[in-house]
Structure formats: C-alpha cells, structure tokens
Amino acid sequence: MYRVGILTVSDRGARGEREDRSGPAVAETIALLPGAQVQERAIVPDEQPQIEAALRRWVAEGLELILTTGGTGMSPRDVTPEATRAVIEREAPGFAEAMRAASLAITPHAMLSRAVAGIAGCTLIINLPGSPKAARENLLTVLPALSHGLDKLKGDPAECATPERPA
C-alpha cells in the first residue's frame, strides 16, 4: 500500500473563495495506481512556510507519496517549488522532466512550469500544476514509474534491471 497526501496550494482556495477542483482530480487519478490510498488532503495558501510545514508534517507521518497541485508557475506568489526544495534531501528530476516533455506536446506553456520532484526521508514529493486538466495529464505521465520508485524508497532489494533475452 502507498499512503498518499494531496496538498493544494491556492490563496483563494485556502480562503474558501474558490472550489478546489485540482485536489479531487489528483485524487481520482492517483486511484489508478494499484495500492495507492489517499490518507491526507489539505489546502494551504501560497505561503512558503505553510507549504513547508504541511510537507514536513506528512513526511514525518510516513506518507510514501505527496502530490502538490498549484504554485508551480511564474507568478510572484508561486513558491511551491521553493518550499519543496527546502524539504527534500535529494531531487528526482526525471519526474518533472517527463511531465514537462509530455506537456509540451499539448501546449507551449508547459515550459513555464517550475515543478520539481524529490525525496525527503522515504517520501517522494512531486509538484503538479494547479489546473485540474494539467494536473491529471502530468500525473498520468509519471504514473507508470511510480510503483517501482516507491517500492525502491520502501527498501525493495529486487534488481532494477531486467534480465537480457537470449539472442
């Protein structure tokens, strides 16, 4: 089982002025990952200390996967990547690279994404866009690699390489 937290970063959402549609879209999409169970959901404003506090709390609780949505663009208040970098110990750049590459096939605005991914303890944190559609598309891009990555974080000793086929 993979315990998952979904953190929506939105000033208006945190004030109750806008319905959170990204968090539910992420929850619906992560349900496609066998064994994934959403254990935590929260909405915080675009304030780095509050984002960091939520991430640190969930890492301490032992969640295996934290998905953030929102705050990854170029607006002055978009600080989710900075908060994530302050919490993680090691980056996992392939996730953000894959999401940007896949998104570029859909929109040139994908190159504006500053999303990051990384590891804090035994927790993988991945930043997703704030748009429900883009969050879903980005999560679907990385979904095929998540089980293997999360199993490795949990200490799976199995070899990563597949045996070569005889000629």
Question: Residue 166: inside a domain, yes or no?
Answer: no
Is 164 inside any structural domain? no
How many domains is the chain partitioned into structurally? 1
Q: Model pTM? A: 0.94
> Could you read off the pLDDT of 4-61 as tens digits, one per residue?
999 999 999 999 999 999 999 999 999 999 999 999 999 999 999 999 999 999 999 9
* DSSP per-residue string spanning 3-62: EEEEEEE-HHHHTTSS---HHHHHHHHHTTSTTEEEEEEEEE-S-HHHHHHHHHHHHHTT
Residue 163 forms part of a structural domain: no
Structure confidence at residue 165 as a pLDDT band (50, 70, 90): very low
CB 130 within 8 A of CB 74: no
Give the CATH number for residue 56: 3.40.980.10
> In whole angstroms, how large is the CA radius of gyration of the chain?
16
Q: Residue 124: pLDDT above 60?
A: yes
Per the domain annotation, does 121 fall within a domain? yes
Residues of the chain with pLDDT > 90, as a percent, come to 92
- Cα separation, 40 vs 152, whole angstroms: 22
Indicate whether 129 belongs to any domain. yes
Identify the domain containing residue 39 by its residue range.
Answer: 5-153
Is 167 a domain residue? no
Tell me, yes or no, whether 28 lies in a domain. yes
Report if residue 40 sits inside a domain.
Answer: yes
Question: Contact 78/71 with Cβ under 8 angstroms?
Answer: yes
